[in-house]
Amino acid sequence: MERVESYASFGGTQEVWKHRSEVLDCEMKFAVYLPPAAAEGPCPVLYWLSGLTCTEQNFITKAGAQRYAAEEGVIIVAPDTSPRGEDVADAEGYDLGKGAGFYVNATREPWAAHYQMHDYVVDELPALIEANFPVSEKRAIFGHSMGGHGALVLALRNPGRYASVSAFSPIVAPTQVPWGEKALGAYLGDDREAWKAWDATELVATATERLPLLIDQGDSDQFLAEQLQPERLVGACEEVGHPIELRMQPGYDHSYYFIASFIGDHIRHHARALKG
């Protein structure tokens, strides 16, 4: 593991590290913000999952999260969105391949060799963080768009692992929208029943943990009607009594201007759960 960036920020340190991932069979980067409290002792960890086309850089340069993480004494870890490297499979367009890992474990070639993002984010990366940084046993997870999908699915698939979960503009029903159909078909094959294991609207029906879902969604989001459709998740939650709060934000779009406007709310939401 090698540190490649380090910047003083709000009394703490914003760092970027690279390492060899055994799960993904390639070199990966991740960002970690260490608040001032980390110098005094272990802090809880909040994992951020970014959306399509992003790397670890988008969140740390655009979201304005460091201020709130410093205030709350929370470490934030932001991994890349897919495997990287010359031998890693890719595709034309922005919504499949590099930058579009969808946080699933691919079973179909040529993707299966590297695209095991679920296991990387849930198991390998936390083990690395917990072995090398002053962290407590408490974890939470949030994300945006494809990363919002990832946060919801990872939390629902792994009961007890996260103290809280939230999302900005998530793809809540990837089995039923174009982005998800393209990615799940490529990574998992043609069996649509297998796709349901990676769909938040399907997973809430059998969830053994009633972890409350917090979602912020801009009502001027250009992808709202075709790709996001948060009402599907609200309906699925209402059917089984799974707690969910959907906050429709007037005038906001899909961009990091939207994320930066409400990131403080989300970090405080997670800090309460992590410290409680």
Could you tell me which residues come within 8 angstroms of residue 14 by beta carbon, excluding any fewer than 6 positions away? Answer: 5, 6, 7, 8, 31, 32, 33, 34, 60, 66
Residue 269 has pLDDT above 90, yes or no: yes
| Average pLDDT taken over every residue of the chain | 98
Does pLDDT of 6 surpass 90?
yes
The CA-CA-CA angle for residues 88, 90, 96, to 5°, reads 130
Could you give the residue numbers annotated as active site? Answer: 145, 221, 254
State the pLDDT confidence band at 18, using cuts at 50, 70 and 90.
very high
The CATH code of the domain that includes 206 is 3.40.50.1820
- 12 pLDDT exceeds 90? yes
Long-range interactions of 135-139: CB distance < 8 A, separation 24+: 135/42, 135/43, 135/44, 135/45, 135/75, 136/42, 136/43, 136/44, 136/45, 138/44, 138/45, 138/163, 138/274, 138/275, 139/44, 139/45, 139/46, 139/47, 139/163, 139/274
Q: CA 273 to CA 144: how far, in whole Å? A: 20
Q: Over the stretch 114-154, which tens digit does the pLDDT of each residue have?
A: 999 999 999 999 999 999 999 999 999 999 999 999 999 99
Minimal CA–CA distance to 98: which of 16, 151, 27, 46? 27
With pLDDT > 70 as the criterion, what percentage of the chain qualifies? Answer: 100
Instruction: Find the domain containing 72 and state its range.
Output: 2-275
pLDDT tens for residues 142-192? Answer: 999 999 999 999 999 999 999 999 999 999 999 999 999 999 999 999 999
What pLDDT sits at residue 134?
A: 97
Confidence of residue 276 (pLDDT cuts 50, 70, 90): confident
Compute the distance between CA of residue 4 and CA of residue 21 in angstroms, rounded to an integer: 16
Instruction: Provide the pLDDT for residue 147.
Output: 98
pLDDT in tens, 209-228: 999 999 999 999 999 999 99
Our count of domains for the chain comes to 1
